[in-house]
Amino acid sequence: MIGPVNNHRIRVAACQVSLGIGEVDRNLATARQAILAAADAGARIVVLPELTPSGYVFSDAAEARALAEPADGQTVTGWAQLAERHDLVIVGGFCELGGHGQVFNSAVVVDRDGVRAIYRKAHLWDAEADFFVPGDAEPPVTDTRHGRIAVMICYDVEFPEWVRLPALGGADLLAVPTNWPAEPVPAGERPMMVANVQVAAFANRMFIAAACRCGTERGVSWTGGSIIAGPDGYPLAGPAGADEPELVLADCDLALARSKASGPRNNAHADRRTDLYR
Amino acid sequence: MIGPVNNHRIRVAACQVSLGIGEVDRNLATARQAILAAADAGARIVVLPELTPSGYVFSDAAEARALAEPADGQTVTGWAQLAERHDLVIVGGFCELGGHGQVFNSAVVVDRDGVRAIYRKAHLWDAEADFFVPGDAEPPVTDTRHGRIAVMICYDVEFPEWVRLPALGGADLLAVPTNWPAEPVPAGERPMMVANVQVAAFANRMFIAAACRCGTERGVSWTGGSIIAGPDGYPLAGPAGADEPELVLADCDLALARSKASGPRNNAHADRRTDLYR
């Protein structure tokens, strides 16, 4: 068990939960329960999975559309209320109905001041291309009540160019709502999705909190692996297993991410040879 | 023990060896012995550490310069002879004296046709900046006798932008001569240098063979961790430990790296949102 909150640190929670496709009420209740548990445990920053209210494995575009809600819908409104009541930053994924009827795989950042940012997934995985319009805006870096927080979603984090943008933009912590479909993992190995998050943190000397799902949905099982990685890439908490819900909690001294020093004379960002990259 | 050579695959060796600063004759003998052991084991591609003949922990620039040799010096000539005699591709690091007197942290690619490429480290680590001029050319991708092979050195591989270039240029295998100074590794964790190589392979669906050192030199101990990672990022062989020399051997179906498919409808390279990266 993690101890009392250290005043120099922010307690971060990655909420690994089990969700069901189309079970919006139950999913939102599950999320609410996880948020309250995180708040009870002293967390100030709470990360939820991708597409939390809707679930992920849509049968077709019509199902995704029917489960989409606007950015001022019940999910975001409810999370904003919880953020206000408990002085939290909450980052979670939802199926967004855009102003022109487009459907996006989105995530919201709320704090006690309300909605601070909406991000729309830019790199779509597999059948997502049938359901969603890809986003075309960079991951926002938001100076929230509890730190400079960026957000991207699942497959996005596999593109180091994409991770670099909010890192260069000054993010202390990157929140990654995710639904990692389980893939075969060799014995003794950590899932590559998890290692990728660690190395993304290391490459940018920033914190990353990734919240995934557990269980199965329409035959798809999930990796779990929710993790909070420090700026050195090593896990501060997690990775969680694949089978059970878990509240992954870590105290993060977010100020550490303000230095990109990687050695006495090296700097992970300043050492980039941007004159040579194409 | 690894079995007979599969005809559809190329056997790759990452030679983890112990070297000594300034002990050129002994170091070259060690390298020769490792190359011959790799050839005996059926390897066609052999990767040696960074700065193999000279060692790494120079006292000052004068020492580095005294240990530098031109690209047609004894090290490269000797490796080219071994490559010709045993039909190998050899990639190894050496301290290069350039045509205008500059000293570079370089690596050579030789096969039975002779010197195929020279690469000069572009991202310098710590005191290297006192000894070396940084390279300003991209990692070469060379269509060798045994595959399309790229090369970069140690700290270079921590920059995903740099890894991307030869990957986009069609490299099947990235050879990484390295000298990773040992850093604290949390219990149960794999060194971040090793995880970084794995994720670099995964992000580009290519093979990476990294050859490091073991032992200590002037108070610096090395990570070891020599590894051959497959296009899915998982180790095909290694990571080696920190303490002992090791011949890390894996059979690599290099053709696998020609497909960047990361799922039925996804592609690690084509899915990049280059319209959005800055």
Question: Each residue of A164-199: pLDDT tens digit?
Answer: 999 999 999 999 999 999 999 999 999 999 999 999
Give the residue-averaged pLDDT of B12-30.
Answer: 98
End-to-end CA distance of chain B: 47
Contact B154, B166 (CB under 8 A): no
Examine the predicted complex and report whether its ipTM is higher than 0.95.
yes
Mutate to test the interface with B, among A119, A153, A276, A278 (most CBs of B within 10 A): A276
DSSP string for B16-56 = EB---TT-HHHHHHHHHHHHHHHHHTT-SEEE--TTTTT-S
pLDDT of A3 > 60? The answer is no
Chain B contact for A278 (CB, 8 A cutoff): yes
| Residue of B62 and A2 predicted with greater confidence | B62
Predicted local confidence at residue A4, as pLDDT: 58
Count other Cβ atoms within 10 Å, centred on residue A118.
Answer: 20
Sheet with B246-252: list strands edge to edge.
B114-120, B103-111, B89-97, B45-47, B10-16, B246-252
- The DSSP code for A138 is P
Give the residue-averaged pLDDT of B249-268.
Answer: 97
Mutate to test the interface with A, among B271, B274, B278 (most CBs of A within 10 A): B271
CA–CA distances in Å: residue B120 to residues A10, B5, B48: 43, 33, 15
Q: How confident is the model over A183-242, as pLDDT tens digits?
A: 999 999 999 999 999 999 999 999 999 999 999 999 999 999 999 999 999 999 999 999
Give the residue-averaged pLDDT of B99-123.
Answer: 98
State the smallest CA–CA distance between residue A158 and chain B in angstroms. 7
Residue B112 lies in a domain: yes
Rounded to 10 deg, the angle between the A192-204 and A160-168 helix axes is 40
> How many CB pairs (< 8 A) connect A and B?
121
Predicted local confidence at residue A7, as pLDDT: 54
Predicted local confidence at residue A249, as pLDDT: 98
What is the Rg, in whole angstroms, of the alpha carbon atoms belonging to chain A?
Answer: 17
- As a whole number of angstroms, the distance between CA A266 and CA B156 comes to 12
Q: What is the pTM of this model?
A: 0.97
Report CB contact under 8 Å: B203, A196. Answer: yes
Task: Quickly state the pLDDT bin for A54 (edges 50, 70, 90).
Answer: very high
Report CB contact under 8 Å: B136, A276. Answer: yes
Residue B63 lies in a domain: yes
| Run of H or E residues at A211 | strand A207-211
Residue A29 lies in a domain: yes
pLDDT of B1 > 70? The answer is no
Above pLDDT 70, what percent of chain B?
97
- As a whole number of angstroms, the distance between CA A88 and CA A45 comes to 6
Contact A132, A104 (CB under 8 A): yes
Predicted local confidence at residue A263, as pLDDT: 93
Predicted local confidence at residue B7, as pLDDT: 53
pLDDT of B6 > 60? The answer is no
**CATH number of the domain enclosing B168:** 3.60.110.10
Residue B270 lies in a domain: no
Query: Residues 6 or more apart from A213 whose CB is under 8 A from it?
Result: A16, A17, A18, A19, A49, A56, A179, A222, A224
Print the domain residue range for A39.
10-258
Chain B contact for A235 (CB, 8 A cutoff): yes
* A123: nearest CA partner in chain B: B271
Residue B5 lies in a domain: no
Residues in chain A with CB shorter than 8 Å from the CB of B273 are 122-123, 134, 136, 159, 162
Q: Which residue has the tokens 């609410």?
A: A32
Number of structural domains found in chain B:
1
pLDDT of A109 > 80? The answer is yes
Write down the mean pLDDT value for chain B.
Answer: 96
- As a whole number of angstroms, the distance between CA B18 and CA B220 comes to 12
Residues in chain B with CB shorter than 8 Å from the CB of A275 are 136
Above pLDDT 90, what percent of chain B?
97
pLDDT of B163 > 80? The answer is yes
Report CB contact under 8 Å: A266, B125. Answer: yes
- The DSSP code for B135 is P
Predicted local confidence at residue B5, as pLDDT: 54
Residue B224 lies in a domain: yes
Predicted local confidence at residue A278, as pLDDT: 83
Write down the mean pLDDT value for chain A.
Answer: 96
Give the residue-averaged pLDDT of B231-254.
Answer: 98
Predicted local confidence at residue A2, as pLDDT: 59
Residues in chain A with CB shorter than 8 Å from the CB of B191 are none
Above pLDDT 90, what percent of chain A?
97
Predicted local confidence at residue A22, as pLDDT: 97
Report CB contact under 8 Å: B273, A232. Answer: no
| Residue of A22 and B4 predicted with greater confidence | A22
| Residue of A200 and B9 predicted with greater confidence | A200
Residue B45 lies in a domain: yes
Mutate to test the interface with B, among A121, A199, A223, A267 (most CBs of B within 10 A): A199
Predicted local confidence at residue B278, as pLDDT: 83
Say whether B105 sits in a helix, a strand or coil: strand
Residue A4 lies in a domain: no
Give the residue-averaged pLDDT of B231-250.
Answer: 98
pLDDT of B3 > 70? The answer is no
Q: How confident is the model over A124-134, as pLDDT tens digits?
A: 999 999 999 99
